[in-house]
Amino acid sequence: MYIPPKPVRGPLLVLCGPMGSGKTSVGSALSTRWGVPILDTDDAVEETAQRTIADIFLQDGEARFRELEHEAVAAALAQHDGIVALGGGAVLREDTQRELAAYVAGGGVVAFLDVSIEYAGPRVGLDDSRPLLMGNPRQRWIEIMGARRPVYDEVSTLRILTDGVTPAEAARELERRLRTAARPAAGTPVHGVHHSA
């Protein structure tokens, strides 16, 4: 088992990626392995608002949800010391991108969990229960992923593909990649370098 060095501030690891990539399940597997807490920013938003994300979208609109989401991400990056799983669209705001860049500059690691529609579909369910997938869920997921992929690539320091693997397998692969990335700098995390899967 390998646990990455603690960054200057904030969590041991941040996970980003689209709906169905396994952020929460992989994060939970790492949380168990490392003995640290996990924070899902979607859950944090719902707890703060005392409403579901679907209700926030319906009643207040996406812009308000993104504000609440940014606040949750900023708080997590400043205060949480375990693993943070970001909502799929959390990386879209420029102020959130700046927060993530500052976290990485302080030694933090942002992992992009990549996934194809063939594997994301069964995990997500691809039904109308998710506000952003209303209409044609499969087509909407593909469009959303196409638009967000460059941002995931930009904010992340490493990427793994979660197609066809269990959360435990993805967690072990992440550990392996973190260990490999840390070696050149004698235990200091390498950041600003994109590692392809």
pLDDT for 33-69, tens place per residue? 999 999 999 999 999 999 998 899 889 998 999 999 9
**Helix, coil or strand: residue 46:** helix
Residues 6+ apart with CB under 8 A from 113: 15, 16, 17, 21, 22, 23, 26, 159, 160, 162, 170
The chain-wide mean pLDDT, for the chain, equals 87
The arithmetic mean of pLDDT across residues 64-84, rounded, is 95
Tokens of 64: 């308000």
Rounded distance between C-alpha atoms, residue 139 and residue 124, angstroms: 13
177, 141 contact by CB (below 8 A) = no
With a cut of 50, say whether residue 190 has pLDDT above it: no
Residues 6+ apart with CB under 8 A from 170: 22, 26, 29, 113, 160, 162
pLDDT level of residue 197 (50, 70, 90 thresholds): very low
Domain boundaries, the chain: 13-185
Residue scoring higher pLDDT (45 or 20): 45
Please count the other Cβ atoms lying within 10 Å of the Cβ belonging to residue 47: 10
Superfamily of domain 13-185: P-loop containing nucleotide triphosphate hydrolases (3.40.50.300)
11: left (phi over 0), alpha (psi -120 to 50) or beta: beta
Question: Which residue, among 124, 164, 117, has the nearest Cα to 139 in the 3D structure?
Answer: 117
Model pTM score:
0.86
